[in-house]
Structure 1
Amino acid sequence: MELFSFYNVENLFLPDPKPKHKLDPTNSGLRNWDERKYKNKLFKIAHVFQMIKEQSAVLPFIIGLSEVSGRKVLEELIQLEPFNSQYGIVHYNSRDERKVDVALLYDKNKVEVISSEAITFFFEIENKNTENYDTTRDVLYSKLKYKEEVIHVFVVHLPSKREKDINKPKRLFILNEIRKRILDIANDNGNVILCGDFNENPDDENLAKILYGNAQEKILENPFQQLFSTGNYSTFHYKSGLLFDQIILSESFFTEDHTLFFQSAEIFKSAKISSRDKRFEGRPFRTYSGTRYLGGYSDHFPVFVTLGKEKTNVKI
């Protein structure tokens, strides 16, 4: 049995440097972000995966992450238990204005990286005075080898919903570009895992469309559709429960002649990483609420899928 996990870790930044002037901006944008809070955050993120290991008896062999800033935070994370420097890193600095990236961790004893790249997107902005470009977080693509099987992994953190969802066209454009790449892989019967914070729920139109090829044939399965339909959420916005964090798999994980088969999907929402405030019971215990430091784990729960060697009769 193997686990594949994704976790939006909510602003994993290095501690802010001491500003030369009180008006100088800091790197993280977080109020009073310092060494103590940073180390506490690192410990908590590592501890989440320790708890997943204790529950499932295995540590995820591949982990997608979002809202990390730079490679150094990842290097310091994988030194901690339960990773113990046995995990490799795939990461590129993106052009995101907040300097947050996506990344991939992998068990070096099980997984080999064949190739990887950052897929960068530029969106033109026009006004009366100038022309320039808006950028967003890269999509991370990795071609991995597990035993004798090749797995193509895409990690995304799509543009957020804000200001009456002005970013919806950007999300659609990015998803369409990913879909083209996935179609090329699917035509060669390749194995694909698309994971991330999509800033959309599983039943939103953009995510529903990506599951199908040009002839409306099913190319991907989203096991988080069923979880969402039964009221399971990974994050919240005011009173609304959301399942933005998802792991979508190619049909090959459900068919025969494959090393790993889909078994189940889960949102990991242990009481230990849930809010201590009874008003927000069942929600993630976040690091910040606005500018107020809470000292929690993240404003998202991690998600994972279980992959096994035996084919099941799971229907999605």
Structure 2
Amino acid sequence: MPTKKYFLKKETNLYTIAFYNLENLFDIKDDLNILDDDFLPDSEKQWTKKRYEKKIFKLGTAISNIGFANTGKAPVILGVAEVENKAVLKDLIKTKNLIHKNYGIVHYDSPDERGIDVGLLYQKKYFTVTHSESIVLLVDNEYGERDYTRDILWVTGNLNGEEIHILVNHWPSRRDGAESTSYKRVIAAKKNREIIDQITEKDPAAKIIIMGDFNDDHTNESVKDHLVQQDFYNPMERLHTRYRGTLNYKSQWNLFDQIIFSNNFHKFEKSKHNFSQANIFDESFLKIYKGRYKGNPFRTYAGRKYQGGYSDHFPVYVQLRLN
């Protein structure tokens, strides 16, 4: 569990913007419209009310501590992935460590076959939503049939009075192989650029944050060649090493979870936000503490075996300074 340092109150002008893949945050009810059979009380995984409540409590604890050490507050904006519906997010923000933060929710059901969506949580005290919509991501599989995947969530709002656009993503997976599915993530990157063009056509000075689980690293074509162009900065590039990332697969670290922002966050302006720092929230309480997988994310399930942890991903965050 978190150490005492997270409970030292600090009043600063720093604000944390975070992203967290919550690893299959399903409720325990059977939804006949999606493939949620693995996450039911009578499934092989035995996804019971007790396990569900334990998971959302743990996630609430983790979220409340992201960036807290040097801001004295939980994330003011948090993008999330792998949530089944709005109900699980409502349950999450009612947990002990989040209930007093007064989080609002932006969520739309996406066409993903497993029923997992992206969403946005925001502290109403600091952020006001003025616009939101779900942008359909159209990709085909190798047979020319539609591959139903997560939509892109576009949220516009005022952070401490300054307008900011946020795009929350969860790009198509590598399940059928990284190379053979790469084109899908390139399409996702291009769709983000279309939205960016739409925003900047109306307001060339718009401040934009792109976040998500891209299922690609910063070195992959989708991110490097298509998403991050001269007008954007990716602070996650410096965080990814052989020994550090947000998820570990076959003893190799990836940093699929990224937060990228428009270059104007580097500009100092009075009463506006500018970039301070970025990091992976990989504190020891989120890690497996012993054995072969020591140091990896402490996940909820390994295959069908219940582990009782948080998620198979670490959260990432950036901190903005209000001048």
Determine if the TM-score, normalized by the shorter chain, exceeds 0.5. Answer: yes
Query: What's the secondary structure of 1:36's corresponding residue?
Result: helix
Q: Percent of aligned positions with the same letter in both sequences?
A: 35
Distance 1:53 1:251, change over 3 A: closer
Paired residues for 1:100-179 under 5 Å? 100-124=116-140, 132-165=145-178, 166-179=180-193
Kept in 1, the 8 Å contact 2:65–2:74? The answer is no
CA drift of 1:55 comes to 2.1
Number of residue pairs aligned between Structure 1 and Structure 2: 298
Identify unmatched segments of 5+ residues in structure 1: 213-217, 311-316
> What is aligned with 1:44?
58
Checking the alignment, whether the CA contact within 8 Å between 2:171 and 2:215 is kept in structure 1 is: yes
Is 1:298 the counterpart of 2:311? The answer is yes
Q: 1:16-95 maps to which residues of 2 (within 5 A)? A: 16-17=29-30, 25=37, 31-52=45-66, 54-56=68-70, 57-84=72-99, 86-95=102-111
Q: TM-score, normalised by structure 1?
A: 0.88
1:241 alignment partner, one of 242, 253, 261:
253
Q: Distance in 1 between matches of 2:141 and 2:296?
A: 37
Whether the aligned pair in 2 keeps the contact of 1:50 and 1:81 (CA below 8 Å) is: no
Structure 1 residues 223, 230: closer, same or farther in 2, change over 3 A? farther
2:244, 2:141 → 1: CA distance? 37
**1:192/1:126 CA distance change after superposition, 3 Å:** closer
Whole-Å separation in 2 of the counterparts to 1:266 and 1:245: 11
How far off its partner does 1:230 sit?
6.9
Aligned counterpart, 1:313: none
Question: Which residue matches 1:228?
Answer: 240
Give the structure 2 partner of residue 314 of structure 1. none
Q: Separation in 2 of the partners of 1:103 and 1:163?
A: 25
Partner Cα separation in structure 2 for residue 203 and residue 268 of structure 1: 21
2: CA distance, partners of 1:265 / 1:303 = 8
Mapped to 1, the partners of 2:251 and 2:55 lie a distance apart of: 26
Change (3 A) 1:126 1:53: closer
Q: Shift in Å at residue 174 of structure 1?
A: 1.3
Aligned equivalents of 2:170 and 2:145: distance in 1? 22
Question: Are the counterparts in 1 of residues 64 and 75 from structure 2 also a CA contact under 8 Å?
Answer: no
* 1:280 alignment partner, SS class: coil
**Residues 44-103 of structure 1: per-residue CA shift (max 9 Å, x gap):** 000102333642322110000000000000001111233216010000011101100000
**251, 256, 281: which one pairs with 2:263?**
251
Contact 1:186 1:219 in 2 (8 A): no
- Equivalent position amino acid for 2:170 in 1: H
For residue 193 of structure 1, what is the aligned residue in structure 2?
A: 209
TM-score (ref. length: structure 2) = 0.86
